Amino acid sequence: MTTEKKAELEKLSKDIRLDIIKTGYLSGIKGAHFGGCLSMAEILATLYCEFVNYNLNDLEHRDRVILSKGHAALALYCVLYEKGILTKEELDTFEQDGSELIAHSKRNLVKGQEFSGGSLSLGISHAVGVAYACKLKGLTNRIYVIVGDGELNEGLAWESLMFASHNKLNNLTVIIDHNHMQADGTVEEVMDTAPLNDKFTSFGFDTQEVDGHSVEDLHLALSNPSVTQPSAIIAETIKGKGVSFMENKAKWHHGDLNELRYNKALMELEGKGNG
């Protein structure tokens, strides 16, 4: 990766985080799922800037990005805005009455939303089914599914992974946003799924572990999918990344911002201080 490309992806990650805070603040007391949105900025930036072919004039052959951790829809909306698929006016309607942009994304292909998320683990099974269908059709596109580590508590996730491995879905990449937190506490406390690498490998996936906040690591991992089996990327991340009072705090799985906290978050993300 060139120095220029790294800088571009890091800037996009920063812009996504700023968009998350600004848009979430506009939602008022309805709030947003800030923690799990902020943890996946680099994942989205790297995917959409470097790998995803989303041609609105050829939707059949498009790559798919399926957000299984559907509560992080705001982060998806923000990268779609940065890539010109959503307008600023549309983004600013997030969680407003009558808006199409709600807390859990609603399927709308022309607006880049592949899946109506919300019920955890259903996105994984949907992605596996889509990957299987695309293989049967002889398409050469790629299916990416972003999964929360907390949702791997669900049995359906592992049934879906078995199916993907059995059918050698080498067009599928599962990206785990491994921020170690969920709504009720740490993943280790609620339902410890470690060691994830061993589990995914034993389920027949070509598995890599990366720093989920390193665009270089993510780029390298995404550049080298297996040609014989499905791929898994375990991205080690920090919930609430970039905002000191949100980092590694389960209470910021979902919350709302007052003016003081909003300004503090902006200052930290813009690099103007963390006091």
Residue labelled with tokens 């930036």:
45
pTM of the full structure: 0.96
Q: What is the mean pLDDT of the chain?
A: 95
Residue 274 has pLDDT above 70, yes or no: no
SS3 label, residue 174: strand
Residue 275 has pLDDT above 80, yes or no: no
% of the chain beyond a pLDDT of 70: 99
pLDDT digits (tens, 9 = 90+) for 54-90: 888 899 999 999 999 999 999 999 999 999 999 999 9
pLDDT digits (tens, 9 = 90+) for 14-34: 999 999 999 999 999 999 999
Burial state string for 202-226 with b = 16 or more CB within 10 A and e = fewer than 16: ebbbbbbbbebbbbbbbbebbeebb
